[in-house]
Structure 1
Amino acid sequence: MENVEDFYDQLSSKYSDLIKKCVPRYDELLHTMFLYLEPDFKPLRILDLGCGTGNLTQRILEYFPDAQIDALDLSEDILEESRKRFGNQSNMNYLQADFKNMHLSEKCYDLVMSSIAIHHVQDPFKFKLYKDVFYALKTDGLFIFADQTRGITDEIYFKNIECWKVEALKLGSTEENWNMWMAHQDAHDYHSPVGWHLENLKKAGFNEVDLLSKYLMWGVFWAKKN
């Protein structure tokens, strides 16, 4: 069985196209991640966790062109695609690391963001990740992420997947694409309910947590370190 890194290495050159055909309301999801930021919020240093080929990174650059951005991903091939996309911008830094074994410095980021990546680790490692992010954020720093979630019941969860397939096919995914994602999901994805995320963000130390939006399996989460 291939691991997560090998899977994304193989998809690196096609990932941006495939994800837009796979995730319903993908552009809206990314837009929502910035919608609730205060107009005077001007982060100096930002971390993009699980940056992929740079779809979220692109939005970060548009909103905060003067910020220093660290783009982190497990796959070196994926990071190389991101490097090609953004060239040699002086405010971009690339980090190859596993969510399970990150070594983030204390209070070094004003904003940490992530798009559809955190579900790749099991719940104990998600909680560790939340604590790592809390440690790395400055006071008043924000952690905003979009991710797949699990329904509170199996009936809700599997209905969401059923509806997801209908929408993915409308977006241009093929049955082959769908079967690929499902095989990967069965082997490597660990979806957690919305309530689990909110509860464990609080346990990790975040004072203010919220769910900004949700459609089928995809939720946008917001957490502030006071």
Structure 2
Amino acid sequence: MAHTDTSTAQPIPSADWTAWQASWDRQQEWYMPDREERFRVMLDMVEALVGPKPRVLDLACGTGSISDRLLKRLPEAVSTGVDLDPALLTIARGSFDGDARVEFVTADLKDPDWPARLPYDSYDAVLTATALHWLHSDPLRTLYGQIAHLVRDGGVFMNADHMPDEATPRINAADRALRHARQERAKAEGALDWRDWWDVAAADPLLAEPTAKRFEIYGEHADGDTPSPDWHARTLREAGFGEARTVWRSPSDALVLGLK
């Protein structure tokens, strides 16, 4: 996917939602250079298991990164994006304005009644990426149980996130050191990290207020757990998925799939 160059902290014109989407992608890629590869595998599995016209729940959707790639890959799909972040939802709603295939819902995934806000009772696929690490294990286990009720029989859930294997500390340390060195080189060349990106958003007239509200909700950064892929697969099976396993991984991240 082509990206607008927003690697330096220059103001983005207000309401240029395409530029904001590209800027978010670049910031995320600073942390995850293989981000597009995990999206590709995720959508491969959607198409393979539920077909080319899925009803998708984009869980903790942010700016709608998954929905964007879903609809480009599978144009007959429909997507519901759900999130609580008012700034990222502002970008998402602006980006997909006028596209009847997509709708967005504001909801807190820690609220037991959040599924009641959704427009559908069930989905062919529930997808999420780089979002649920802000939940601790017990709330995440509860969430997986709720997701199991939303996924139809034969449907899928996929979570791509930071899932290190704590049994290999030396491998983890070496991988972390290499990643951090690459990130520092990229930042020296003008790449925005997470904090820099939010500073730019806070300076935008259309995003300043929702950005302030975002930090009121979440604080500086959430502090959740990062259990292993095996934990995720086991917990999904306990929640009611018939099969669950890792379908993609890097040294530090993984994509776990549960098949209902």
TM-score, normalising length from structure 1?
Answer: 0.81
**1:35: which partner in 2?**
44
Output the CA distance in 2 between the equivalents of 1:134 and 1:72: 16
Is residue 215 of structure 1 aligned with residue 250 of structure 2? yes
Structure 1 position 177, deviation (Å): 5.4
Q: Is the 8 A contact 2:145 2:240 kept in 1?
A: yes
1:171-216 Cα distance to aligned partner (Å, 9 max, x none): x2359956959xx66x524211111111111111111111011112
- Counterpart secondary structure, 2:110: helix
Structure 1 position 53, deviation (Å): 1.4
Q: Out of 158, 161, 176, which is 1:161 matched to?
A: 176
Output the CA distance in 2 between the equivalents of 1:72 and 1:211: 24
Aligned residues between the structures:
211
Output the CA distance in 2 between the equivalents of 1:222 and 1:189: 21
After the TM superposition, which of the residue ranges 62-71 and 133-142 deviates more from structure 2? 62-71
Output the CA distance in 1 between the equivalents of 2:257 and 2:25: 24
Q: Is the 8 A contact 2:108 2:114 kept in 1?
A: no
Give the partner amino acid of 2:148.
F
Output the CA distance in 2 between the equivalents of 1:134 and 1:50: 16
Unmatched 5+ stretches in structure 2: 1-16, 197-219
Give the partner amino acid of 1:110.
D
Q: Out of 131, 141, 154, which is 2:145 matched to?
A: 131
- Counterpart secondary structure, 1:104: helix
**1:122: which partner in 2?**
136
- RMSD of aligned residue pairs (Cα, Å): 2.8
| Percent identity (aligned) | 21
Structure 1 position 17, deviation (Å): 2.5
Is residue 201 of structure 1 aligned with residue 236 of structure 2? yes
Structure 1 position 43, deviation (Å): 4.2
Unmatched 5+ stretches in structure 1: 1-11
Against the structure 1 CA distance between its residues 176 and 55, is the aligned structure 2 distance closer, same or farther, given a 3 Å change threshold? closer
Give the partner amino acid of 2:26.
D
Output the CA distance in 1 between the equivalents of 2:194 and 2:34: 20
Q: Out of 104, 125, 141, which is 2:115 matched to?
A: 104
Displacement over 6 Å in runs of 4+: none
